[in-house]
Amino acid sequence: MLQAVMVEPGKIEFHEVEKPVPAKNEVLIAIQRIGVCGSDIHVYHGKHPYTSYPVVQGHEVSGIVAGVGNGVQDFMPGDKVVFMPQVTCGQCYPCQHGMEHICESLKVMGFQTGGAAQEYFPVDARKVLKLPNGVSLDEGAMVEPVSVAVHALRRGGFVPGMKVLVLGAGTIGNLVAQVARAQGASKVLVTDIQDYKLEKARECGLTGINTSRENLPHTIDEVFGKEKADLILECVGVQPTITQAIQVARKGTPIVVVGVFAEKPVVDLGLVQDRELSLVGTLMYQRPDYEKAIELIASHALMLQPLITHRFPFQDYLKAYQAIEESQGHYMKVMIEL
């Protein structure tokens, strides 16, 4: 079978390797779709702090069961599935207290351990989830990023009726806003400085503004009223947006840090302290988040198709990254098809 290996930043080679045989309690998945995410792009540029080379990428994945090992009873060949790409120790304090997603020895497939950028991929059956009838393979590959959004909102204490401000209209920001709306937010406002991403937000039925031209505090008053937002989610990972989040927050507001910061930001802790703001980190997801993501997708509560802007066959994996570079930010979800 073919396996895509990023041998160094910016260079992908295809290797012919032996097709895996599922071990006991494993599911062998014929990979069908692989989504490219922002963290993958960091790896492509050699800027991911926790990834070394060579590495097989691929963690936003959907596929079809091709075989099962001894002991597997819940899956059978032909099932459409996704999987959770976390590898955990099961022994540390987080693992022993229901927080495996922040395991002390956490490894993520496609970064610190092998990913699914190959024709067949074996996965521990405990990490595999079945897709309901009616959920497409494209939608299946979006379960992972939707789960990020579900978990981020949960970390912020989201409840129906909240007014939600999302800073950043990239794929994750868009999904955070859509999930908030689907789960009963009374109002949602999305911001960005790229008109392309804001147009995608509007295509998904979201309200957005370009903060390079429009006044954010004024718009917050217009959209949410003088009581402002109940929950703020920073989904970019850059200095200006975390600064904005703190500046526009109502006293006592939770701010969820969703964006991955490549450079350490300066945070006005004086304002955080004085206004009793809550800065909350969110990393990945837990199984209930995956289950909720699948439920939302299956119920057609989310608009995912507008977010898939580019498609490439498996053997054009490198061209996918090159297209992202050439797009000058005019892309959302790039999908690799097998």
Scan for tokens 């909240």, then name that residue: 162
Residue 89 reports pLDDT greater than 90: yes
Q: Using one digit for the tens of pLDDT, what is the confidence trace for 106-138?
A: 999 999 999 999 999 999 999 999 999 999 999
Cβ atoms of residues 294 and 288 within 8 Å: no
How high is the pLDDT of residue 49? 82
- Phi first, then psi: what are they for 67, rounded to 5°? 180, 160
User: What is the pairing mode between strands 2-8 and 11-16?
Assistant: antiparallel
Buried b or exposed e, range 24-33, using 16+ CB within 10 angstroms: eebbbbbbbb
Provide the pLDDT confidence category of residue 282 given band limits of 50, 70 and 90: very high
Three-state SS string across the chain, please? CEEEEEEECCEEEEEECCCCCCCCCEEEEEEEEEEECHHHHHHHCCCCCCCCCCECCCCEEEEEEEEECCCCCCCCCCCEEEECCEECCCCCHHHHCCCHHHCCCCEEECCCECCCCECEEEEEHHHEEECCCCCCHHHHHCHHHHHHHHHHHHHCCCCCCCEEEEECCCHHHHHHHHHHHHCCCCEEEEEECCHHHHHHHHHCCCEEEECCCCCHHHHHHHHHCCCCCCEEEECCCCHHHHHHHHHHCCCCCEEEECCCCCCCCCCCHHHHHHCCCEEEECCCCCHHHHHHHHHHHHCCCCCCHHHEEEEEEHHHHHHHHHHHHHCCCCCCEEEEEC
How high is the pLDDT of residue 229? 98
Domains of the chain: 2-142+304-337 (3.90.180.10), 147-281 (3.40.50.720)
Rounded-to-integer distance, Cα 221 and Cα 227, Å? 8
Rounded-to-integer distance, Cα 304 and Cα 41, Å? 21
Q: Using one digit for the tens of pLDDT, what is the confidence trace for 62-75?
A: 999 999 999 999 99
How high is the pLDDT of residue 326? 93
How high is the pLDDT of residue 47? 84
Percent of the residues in the chain that have a pLDDT greater than 90, as a whole number: 96
Q: Which amino acid is at 37?
A: C
How high is the pLDDT of residue 39? 87
Provide the pLDDT confidence category of residue 48 given band limits of 50, 70 and 90: confident
Rounded-to-integer distance, Cα 144 and Cα 85, Å? 9
Q: Using one digit for the tens of pLDDT, what is the confidence trace for 211-263?
A: 999 999 999 999 999 999 999 999 999 999 999 999 999 999 999 999 988 88
Residue 311 reports pLDDT greater than 90: yes
Q: What average pLDDT does range 73-92 have in this prediction?
A: 97
Percent of the residues in the chain that have a pLDDT greater than 70, as a whole number: 100
Torsion, Cα of 154, 158, 159, 162 (10° steps): -160
